[in-house]
Structure 1
Amino acid sequence: MIRPLINILLVVLLSEIVGQVDAFGVKEPVSALLQKHVSEIARLKEETQAIVGADNFDQVPYNNDVFYLRYCLEGDKDVEDLKKNLAWRQGEGKKICDAATSAFVEATAGEGWNNDPIRNNAPSAEIINQYLTESSGMTTSTSDGDFLYCIRAGMIDDKSLMSLIDVDSLVDFFVYAKEIISLAANDRSLTSDRISNVLTVNDLNGLQLIGGDSTFRDALSASSKKANELYPALGGPTLLLNLPRLVSALVKVFTPLFPKKVRENLKFSRGCLKDVMELKDARRGGKDNKQFLKDVDDILSA
């Protein structure tokens, strides 16, 4: 029994945070940051236009200076990292990025946000959307305007899902989701004049300690590692909610072994979302949204 528990623990702790250095908590206005890094951004934009071409350069995400600013905010990223990102976007990841761009443009065409094109354009949507529903995952905003990406792994029938698709297909789906959130975060950063980050909320209420599909966890881990490479200075803290008590005990053993920066990015809580039956009720406008945002604020400030 201990080995499955350790596997779950490692996926939970490592999948969202390995290699992550974020801009969460940056206080300077975006306008000031863009001016501060104007020469670096100009150099990154010049490299980008040379690679993607003039026509693509005028499209999202390349027409948003926050796309380049995030490389400046994450100090260990440079032109070579951007080139690798662009090579992925022009090659292996082109289908994902094209689908995300099309969906994002359609979703933001009118007033507000239309989520239908986001779900419909996702890779393997006809299969995955049957299992990753509003009951098991959703995205909303914090009281400060950051994004909250919430997932309830215990609500996903991972065995049935993975009997219909392979790991690579699910990885593509999760990377597509992160691409959508990245586009939205960059757009919001410009309009709000505040760097918008993405906080991951893993609600482990109902998680099975024994069983489950290991390939599903493999997909989560692989997609998170890929996202950390593709989206610098985007991620904020990871909130781990309602861990089973035995897993919680193991967390206390393992977390002191991680570097300080990793420990600072992990927030634990019991109770938040525990009595929320449907995640959609915690979204903006939902009956549980006000309490959820208060709980998140309390966790982040603790």
Structure 2
Amino acid sequence: MSWLTEYVRPKIRGLLKREVPDNLWTNCESCGQMILVKDLRKGLNVCPHCGHHMRASVAERFAWTFDQGECTRIELPKAPVDPLTFRDRKRYTERLKDERAKSQLDESMAVAHGRIGGHDAVVAVMAFEFIAGTMGAALGEAFVAAARLAVLQKTPLIVFTASGGARMQEGLISLMQMPRTTVAVQMLREAGLPYIVVLTHPTTGGVTASFAMLGDVQISEPNALIGFAGPRVIEDTVREKLPDGFQRAEYLLEHGMIDMVVKRADLPEILGRLIGLLNHRQAAEPARPAA
């Protein structure tokens, strides 16, 4: 018995109690099914059970969008830090420091240029992982820099949106980025360059009220929440039950607010095709007379 109890039993218990790494499995946010993380990554963060499109990081967006994942990130202009010396549970400067360490990003938007479907393009990606993709002065600087780079290179600008809205720690300065980004979009229009917006879950607040809804072509990932105020806020305001799927991508498509809903795996091909078509149209149009 001693051999069984002292050697065999501990071995069996060791096999049964073998620890599983914390990052091996994850659960779908929509259906709750367990998914192997490596399978989820292979599927571009789309649930293989229900097709739910989970959030993606800035690095993933660039890797999935550009040809062979090759692109050049640009250094963005610096914005004033903590212009209001704001403090809630912690100082705004401390919050920014923590978020930068956690996300490995400087701010809530990153910009890169490269080729999509063989066509040159500038891509700006909002980082939901950085303070929920909120819009502050730094994001405004990044968006304007992306628009200027597109004009300089004479290429389309593609923006992936994902945001909780304005950044309360910057107050009115955050709201000022709405007209500022709108002016940057107009700069692209005057240069005759395509501006394509890809709306991802969620896109809300001041971002929706400004540059997110001004694209020449509006694309959305499936079932993305898109709106200004959230559904609960609207229900409390109008005191009515909202329709099923209200503010979701498919509902907006049905009501003419966006142009298409595209699965993540199909986005690079669709974007490349759109850029080719819009570039061809631009080349076919006569030059605009100088004002």
Report the TM-score when normalising by structure 2: 0.35
Report the TM-score when normalising by structure 1: 0.34
Which structure is higher in RCO with an 8 Å CA cutoff and minimum separation 6? 1
Bigger Rg over Cα: 2
Greater strand proportion: 2
